[in-house]
Amino acid sequence: MNNIVFAGLGSMGIPMATNLRAAGMQVHGLDVDRARAEQFNGLAERQISEGEALAGADGLVIMVVNAAQVRDLLFKQEMVSQLPAGACIVQMSTVAPGDSAAISAEVKAFRDDLHYVDAPVSGGVAGARDGSLTIMVAAGDDAFTACRPIFEAMGRAIYRAGTDAGQGSTMKAVNQLLCGVHIAVAAEAMAMAEKNGLDLAVMLEMLSGSAASSWMIKDRGPRMILPPDEVTSAVDIFCKDLGIVCESAAQSRTYTPLAHAAHQLFVASSERGEGQLDDSQVIRTYRLLNGSPSQEEQ
């Protein structure tokens, strides 16, 4: 894995692609924002065209918004037909397990000499930036071995979910179920403390050191008790991810009432115009329903 085409140079994609380049790989970036791609590619040792990059790629890494964009890249933009035999398609976007399995089957029906790797990530922009992502991989033995240097350049924890496309996405869905529910219930707890007049800084300190603590309480809790500021993961991301969780649960006939409740909380926050705020700000919806003032009003 030396020549990589990286499709999707968004807030996570750019640092991920940069880390691949820092690991010594030749990386050609693609993005709907051509200026962004040109800026990234301008730092490459050798300037090549998109066609040249795809024709010589060992791997095509995809980090876009949804399954529709993945299909657009592979089939409408005909990247599947431009890759050389034996190349790996490393799909790292968060999509529903059913979509991942279907796309893999579509690739195989089109060409059976490519490897499709289902490898979603967790860790957000911070994890992408410092190369500490958690990567959940479903791939055959040969593809997993070939792609391991890619994963090691971008992540600190690599888990093999299985060999079949969709299994990596299922592992990501389970992870996001817990993340979303943890944020939602942390916001509920802090909103209850606030409604009853407790000092939120003291409340947070107590919870962080008790059996009730969680990574999300420690990470999102401080942001819940301060006015909105830096966005590390937006409300709308969990609208999407928990929507995928609920869709996956329906497909597998799994009972997930807490995931559905958390999803509705994020959707309510987004519908109130707060979808681009940090996901910790779902507490504002509780404040509204509790009749509590926002931090800006206090």
Whichever domain contains 235, its CATH number is 1.10.1040.10
Domain assignment present for 24: yes
Residues 90 and 151 in one domain: yes
Residues 286 and 210 placed together within one structural domain of the fold:
yes
Q: What percent of the chain has pLDDT over 90?
A: 91
How many C-beta neighbours within 10 Å does residue 66 have? 15
Domain extent at residue 198 = 171-290
For residues 93-103, average pLDDT: 95
How many separate domains does the chain show? 2
- E-assigned strand segments in 31-82: 59-62
| Residue 229: per-residue pLDDT | 80
Clarify whether residues 193 and 219 are in a common domain. Answer: yes
138 and 203, same structural domain? no
Residue 294: what pLDDT?
A: 62
pLDDT at 232: 83
* Catalytic, out of 76, 108, 172, 195: 172
Whether 14 and 139 map to the same domain: the answer is yes
User: Same structural domain for residues 129 and 241?
Assistant: no
Residue 28 in this model has a pLDDT that exceeds 80: yes
Q: Do both 11 and 133 map to the same domain?
A: yes
Last residue of a domain, one of 141, 164, 187: 164
Residue 69 pLDDT class (50, 70, 90 cuts): very high
Section 114-129 average pLDDT: 94
CATH number at residue 76: 3.40.50.720
Residue 296's pLDDT is what?
Answer: 56
Q: Which of 164, 192, 208 is the last residue of a domain?
A: 164
The pTM assigned to this predicted structure is 0.91
- Compute the residue count for the chain: 298
Cα torsion through 15, 11, 147, 44, rounded to 10: -50
Question: Is residue 143 domain-shared with residue 63, that is, in the same domain?
Answer: yes
Per-residue pLDDT tens digits for 224-283: 998 878 888 899 999 999 999 999 999 899 999 999 999 999 999 999 999 999 999 999
Q: Let me know whether 22 and 141 are in one domain.
A: yes
Please tell me whether residues 217 and 271 are part of one structural domain: yes
Residues facing 3 on adjacent strands: 26
Active site residue 76: no
Residue 158, classed as helix, strand or coil, is strand
What are 168-222's pLDDT values in tens digits?
A: 999 999 999 999 999 999 999 999 999 999 999 999 999 999 999 999 999 999 9
Judgement on whether residues 65 and 175 belong to the same structural domain of the protein = no
Under the banding of pLDDT at 50, 70 and 90, the label for residue 44 is confident
Q: ∠261-267-272 over CA atoms, to 5°? A: 130
pLDDT at site 20: 97
Kindly tell me if the per-residue pLDDT of 122 is higher than 80.
yes
Tell me, yes or no, whether 295 lies in a domain: no
CB 81 within 8 A of CB 53: no
The chain-wide mean pLDDT, for the chain, equals 94
